[in-house]
Chain A
Amino acid sequence: MSGFHTHALYRHEHSALHGLPSQVKIVSLVLFVGAVVATPRDVLWPFAIHAALLIVAVSIARIPFSFMAKRLVIELPFVLFAVLMPFIGTGERTTVLGVSLSIAGLWGAWTILVKGTLGLGASVLMAATTEIPDILEGFERLRFPKLVTAIAGFMVRYLDVIIGELRRMRVAMTARGYDPSWIGQAGPIASSAGSLFVRSYERGERVHRAMLARGYTGAMPVFERVTVSARDWLTGMAIPGLAWVVAIVSWVVR
């Protein structure tokens, strides 16, 4: 439903997670990822629990696992990097299936894979259960600097417009036989990008005029203040809270 260029991340369902206010979900995401990253890497059991917590959240949200799996494919580039680690690592080595691997590299690969995947999974889950305008409003309610949220709002609003114009330009160029194979042929891309920037800038000027025409005096107006119940916060903090308990315990018993 959000239909954003390559990442169609939002999936419309009716679930407890979909209904949670977005600022709760944002804080929940940051805390959960923090707990995962804070967990020491040389123990395995805490990550099993972190993964279980994430799976529970995905089930509550009624997001199909195939949906999650497809979005996790984005991870591929850093999976490759992780796989290389045991081969190029230093220090003590061990032999697995006749191949010499670095122990530090193996631990490194493990860390990157498990933390990266859990972090990505949590991010994807939030995006899947929260529409983009709601996420932006969540940041406003979390009292992020107004300049930042205003710029982010305009950016998100016009992203599709600009990407659409970029795509049309590429189609028009390809239709005229333009198929660059090396950087020296990038002239037309750059020229179109330049005119796209000029058009974007001019649109920014027109948007400002439209804002003035509706009474804008320099500060974005205040819309409704949504109050969030304590219950919503408790619901949202349950899983990250548990994750932090796990992280702290794993440090203590190490």
Chain B
Amino acid sequence: MSTPALEVRDLSYSYPDGRRALDAADFHIHPGERVALLGANGAGKTTLVLHLNGILRPSSGTVRVAGLEVTDDNLREIRRRVGLVFQDPDDQLFMPTVRRDVAFGPANFEVGGEELDRRVRGALEAVGMEDAIDRAPHHLSLGERKRVAVATVLAMEPEILVLDEPSSNLDPAGRRELAKMLDTLDITMLLVTHDLAYAQALCRRVMIMNHGRIVADGPTEHVLADRPLLAKNRL
């Protein structure tokens, strides 16, 4: 039994005002899997995502990435292992050029010189944006920015790619292009979304989250065929 790429055990979290955001969430993902985490707005998806690289810390429970537990001492390595792609690419592309943005991650881990250059080019090629390397992010279209955002984390050579609502705000063509690109990536993936079509296109396994707990976890065809289950969870 190989080490799970991601292991979330009994994760609970409450906001300062007392609201429960995560309620003993529990699941694990194996290397090479592509899993969708579905949930309506407010189900706790983004809160969960922020626990995966230690930005938020739980009231109880643990998170392990490729066997390494998320603790204060491991944060740096955890953040290299978890490639978190945020919902709004403008939050993630904060440098004056694409090159700088993609280089930012590995540069924080003392990657430099030719190796850095190789990683930047490689990451951009993987997402099909190698021509944009010296452009400013605000001159790119939304779809292009989303792809560069993926490149910024690929450059760190993570264990798992976690995407928060990747298809949001894209037009149908944009969504298709992004899905096509994600499909070509050979990496463990956790797709956090409420876009059922995306989950279906990219993932073999689907989990449903509601009120901070995982209420369903199974093969895509089964879970998405269960209309009453989807309706109950506002999907």
Contacts and interface: CB of A to CB of B under 8 A. Distances in A.
Would A and B touch once assembled, by the CB under 8 A criterion?
yes
A132 B93 CA distance: 16
B108 A214 contact: yes
Contacts of B92: 210
Nearest to B98: A133
Contacts of B112: 222, 224
A203 interface: yes
A136 B112 CA distance: 20
Interface residues of A, number: 29
Interface in B52-78: 53, 55, 76
A157 B96 contact: yes
B177 interface: no
Interface string A191-227: 0000000000001001101111111110001111000
Given A157-B94, A215-B79, A133 B136 contact: yes
A136 B96 contact: yes
Interface residues of B, number: 35
Interface stretch (B4-12, B21-29, B80-88): B80-88
Contact of A221 (B88, B107, B156): B107
B84 A153 contact: no
Contacts of A160: 138
Contacts of B79: 212-215
B130 to A, nearest CB: 18
A161 B138 contact: yes
A136 B95 CA distance: 11
A52 interface: no
B139 A203 contact: no
B118 to A, nearest CB: 13
A91 B200 CA distance: 85
Contacts of B93: 157
Nearest to B136: A133
A213 B55 contact: yes
B13 interface: no
Nearest to B110: A221
A212 B55 contact: yes
Given A210-B86, A210-B92, 7 more contacts: A3-B139, A153-B95, A158-B90, A209-B55, A209-B86, A212-B53, A213-B55
Interface of B: 50, 53, 55, 76, 79-80, 82, 84, 86, 88, 90-97, 100, 103-105, 107-109, 112-113, 116, 136-139, 152-153, 156
